[in-house]
Amino acid sequence: MDFQLTEEHLMIQKAARDFAKNELLPGVIERDEKMIYPAEQVKKMAELGFLGMMTDPKYGGGGMDTISYVIAMEEISKVEAGISVVMSVNNSLVCWGLETFGTEEQKQKYLIPLATGEITGAFCLSEPEAGSDATSQRTTAIDKGDHYIVNGTKNWITNGNSASVYLVIAQTNTELGHRGINALIVEKDTEGVTVGAKENKMGIRASDTHSIMFQDVVVPKENRIGEDGFGFKFAMKTLAGGRIGIAAQALGIASGAYELAVAYSKERKAFGTEIANHQAIQFKLADMATEIEASRMLCFKAAWLKDQNKDYNMASAIAKVFASETAMRTTTEAVQVHGGYGYVKEYHVERLMRDAKITQIYEGTSEVQRIVISRSVLR
Ligand SMILES: Cc1cc2nc3c(=O)[nH]c(=O)nc-3n(C[C@H](O)[C@H](O)[C@H](O)COP(=O)(O)OP(=O)(O)OC[C@H]3O[C@@H](n4cnc5c(N)ncnc54)[C@H](O)[C@@H]3O)c2cc1C
């Protein structure tokens, strides 16, 4: 066992920290308030190699381990979770899914531009009537020989407008239930694809979340990922790794709020002394530090298991449920440490508190994570 980060990990941490401080912090409040998609910043993130961190260099990626990804996600999420979600979806759901299960042709055509960040991708599973219960897909992909015809609506799609490529989960054979589901690569500019209005969200407001409508969209058969009927498994396997990214995002949101609370507690005076000298504040900081450290260890453990090709399904669910609940508690307490100043935008902690909530919802709610964990416990 080794709790030390390597030289390479430390370099990635510094690069991500500098990027967040220099490129994200200056405009983060405005982007949140006006729901501005951080296009310019996403481009810079691509230049730094953050959009395909774990992808093999032969497909345009950085060839890094999942620990590096957790480290970078934490640093970027400390400042702007609205952009780290773009990074998370592109890395964990789109690039990883294509690299692991795609054909060589699909990798050449789609993975290379996605991993280099020339374009971004989106993962389209949720529907108006299918969220936690992802088996009840109403979007259909009817087999027409050499192509599929896709009809239906996907909801809450991150990168919905900015992405050039969608990975779409759809039902081909209803009689086979979840074994009749397929995963298809759909280019955004295909005829019949319509992007709905941008969602006006509580948090991660800079990210572009949209519903996507598919009407008689023709998708060539060579764009199916895996064997016929592999789509549901594809989605579940991809989301198991995606949870590590979201756990790391939650960790970053928590540690960003914690760092701000520590700094503020040393400056703000009440009753003739810095509030950091009041034990009630000290204990809040102690609880934050404890839970954040535990979250970080859980993220690293899940990432390490993934890198060792061991089963990480339970570990990623544990990391996500714990880190996301830590993010909610920590950000709420960070607002409390700031008093009235915590309630206004300039001090950042109110945004982090709003951003934290989504980590308990997407890529499997906290309740769904507990289902995953308890299934492993009782197996
Ligand atoms: C900002 C944002 C971005 C998103 N990005 C994407 C994306 O890029 N791609 C994508 O496909 N989806 C995305 N989603 C969708 C997200 O994954 C779903 O919202 C989530 O899975 C929950 O589904 P739901 O909203 O339908 O809630 P429901 O499934 O309707 O759940 C409602 C409540 O019931 C609980 N519940 C449901 N079933 C059970 C059960 N068996 N036991 C106990 N409790 C249960 C849930 O935990 C929740 O508390 C995004 C959502 C948001 C808000």
Atom of ligand 1 nearest to the CA of 124: 11
pLDDT at residue 308, rounded to an integer: 97
42: tokens are 């996403």
Contact criterion met (CB below 8 Å) for 45 and 87: yes
Nearest CA to ligand 1 atom 22: 131
Report the pocket of ligand 1 as residue ranges, CB < 6 Å. 89, 122-126, 131-132, 156-158, 201, 204, 209, 358, 361-363, 365, 367-368
pLDDT at residue 8, rounded to an integer: 97
Task: Choose which residue among 133, 201, 212, 365 to substitute to test ligand 1 binding: the one with the highest number of ligand atoms within 8 A of its C-beta.
Answer: 365
What's the 117 CA to ligand 1 centre distance in angstroms? 27
Q: To 10 degrees, what angle do helices 349-358 and 81-88 make?
A: 30
Q: Can you tell me the distance from the alpha carbon of 251 to that of 1, in angstroms, rounded to the nearest whole number? A: 22
Q: Can you tell me the distance from the alpha carbon of 169 to that of 157, in angstroms, rounded to the nearest whole number? A: 12
pLDDT at residue 366, rounded to an integer: 98
Task: Choose which residue among 92, 124, 127, 132 to substitute to test ligand 1 binding: the one with the highest number of ligand atoms within 8 A of its C-beta.
Answer: 132
Full-model pTM: 0.98
Could you tell me which residues are beta bridge partners of residue 150? 141, 217
- Does 363 participate in catalysis according to the annotation? yes
| Mean pLDDT (10-residue bins), the chain, 379 residues | 94 98 98 98 97 98 98 98 98 98 98 98 96 94 97 98 98 95 98 97 98 98 98 97 98 98 98 98 98 98 98 98 98 98 98 98 97 96
